[in-house]
Amino acid sequence: MPDHKPTVLLLCTANTCRSQIAEALLRHLAGDRFEAMSAGLAPGEAVHPLALQVLKEKGIDPAGLRPKHVRELLGKVRIRTAITVCARAAETCPEAWPGALEQLFWPIDDPAAVEGTETERLAAFRRARDTIEAQISQWLAGLEQD
């Protein structure tokens, strides 16, 4: 019987920016240890182009990323850890996942909500990416200490 990696679900509202970045980063940093998935309550049509760009800047291939509704996974995938990466979780993001052994909340500001020049918007996506990467690295380091 093959070993199955525990699944980590990254949640946010539209599943077009933060949770997609988090999914790709977790795969990059610990894809040998975890299955990374993302979903949202009101998924958008496509992953935000700036989210794809900031992943590529880090040498991460965003192939296969797509917005998904939580209904695609609910009751179908066993989740070990559910991580909400939405700063406005109390208003719009799922804060809990039924059956998850661990539930975390990382309030990351929505880079897609930033208005301004293309340079300012790209900077917001880079900040979100770097914050998410730091959170994932810290979480992974904590797991290694257990």
Tokens of 49: 């182009």
- Whether residue 17 lies in the annotated active site: no
Residue indicated by tokens 């990466």: 85
Of 9, 10, 11, 12, which is the active-site residue?
12
Of 11, 93, 128, 136, which is the active-site residue?
93
The 10 Å Cβ neighbour count of residue 45 is 8
- Whether residue 93 lies in the annotated active site: yes
Of 51, 65, 73, 86, which is the active-site residue?
86
For 96-118, b where at least 16 C-beta lie within 10 A, e where not — what string?
Answer: ebeebeebebbebebbbebeeee
Residue indicated by tokens 């496509």: 46
The residues annotated with a catalytic role in the active site are 12, 86, 93
